[in-house]
Amino acid sequence: MCAIGSAGHANRAVDAGLAKRFHAWLMLKISETYEARSRERKLALFEDISGTVLEIGPGTGPNLKYYPANIYWIGIEPNPFMHVHLKAEAQRLGLPIELRGGSAERIEAEDGSVDAVVSTLVLCSVADLAHTFREIRRVLKPGGRFYFLEHVAARRGTALRSVQRLIRPLWSALGDGCQPDRETWSVLETAGFSRLEYEHFTMKIPITGPHIAGVAVK
């Protein structure tokens, strides 16, 4: 029985590893198109970022090029297959980086230790949004800012919302847990930030076109 159980655990570990490797490859392939469509919005969103910046789920590093050279950047990327691409992008830009373990729901950083937290296309896949926001608030200094750009659910009652709901199981399996119909803004509004400014907008992308972007202040 133990041998069979061990084999089962090993097979699941291999499957999980393959899924993470596939997700890293997929993110690398689609990032060029997405960045072309989100570039102006990211430039505006990150224009005043400074100090110690902690990015959750930085993936292959598409945001690195938007940061000023004088920041101190810390990344929390739980997918090890992203690291090689992330390090290569940082080296290309000449930006020193520090990678830490943990996840968005368990950030390896001391209380009140960072000036800014950044999240782009990450909150769709965390298991517990409310806990993630508590972690973000915990690591931010008083007055620190949380910058976010995320795809979210389409408006209720629309055809796109129905498609998002129907495709969610397959989408989640291929996208490392991503949920295309998540109403992230509703949890964010009750997360306890002292100030929250964001907007809804749509990008020309199939399934995940609806987005929100903004800044929350601790």
* 20-29, 68-77, 169-178, 194-203, range with the lowest pLDDT: 20-29
Count of alpha carbons within 13 angstroms of residue 117, beta-carbon side: 32
Query: Hey, how many other C-beta atoms are within 10 angstroms of the C-beta on 7?
Result: 10
- When divided into structural domains, the chain yields a total of 1
Is the pLDDT at 131 greater than 80? The verdict is yes
Amino acid at 41: R
Residues 40-66: tens digit of each pLDDT: 999 999 999 999 999 999 988 999 999
Specify the CATH number for the domain of residue 202.
Answer: 3.40.50.150
Give the integer Cα–Cα distance in Å for 204 and 206: 7
Q: Which is more confident, 184 or 11?
A: 184
DSSP 3-state of 215: strand
When pLDDT is averaged across residues 73-82 and rounded to a whole number, the result is 90
The residue ranges of DSSP E strands in 4-151, in sequence order, are 52-56, 72-76, 97-100, 102-103, 106-107, 114-120, 140-151
When pLDDT is averaged across residues 110-114 and rounded to a whole number, the result is 97
pLDDT at 3: 38
When pLDDT is averaged across residues 187-205 and rounded to a whole number, the result is 96
The residue ranges of DSSP E strands in the chain, in sequence order, are 52-56, 72-76, 97-100, 102-103, 106-107, 114-120, 140-151, 195-202, 210-217
- CB-based contact 136:126 (threshold 8 Å): no
Query: Hey, how many other C-beta atoms are within 10 angstroms of the C-beta on 189?
Result: 11
- CB-based contact 202:209 (threshold 8 Å): yes
pLDDT at 28: 57
Q: For CA atoms 153, 157, 161, 165, give the dihedral sign.
A: positive
Domain that residue 56 falls in: 2-217
Please state, rounded to an integer, the average pLDDT across all residues of the chain: 88
Task: Give pTM, 2 decimals.
Answer: 0.87
Q: How would residue 29 be classed by pLDDT, with cut points 50, 70 and 90? A: low
Is the pLDDT at 12 greater than 70? The verdict is no
Instruction: Estimate to the nearest angstrom the gap between the alpha carbon of 70 and the chain centroid.
Output: 23
Angle, alpha carbons 88-24-128 (nearest 5°): 115
Q: Which is more confident, 23 or 13?
A: 23
pLDDT at 18: 57
Is the pLDDT at 143 greater than 50? The verdict is yes
DSSP 3-state of 158: coil
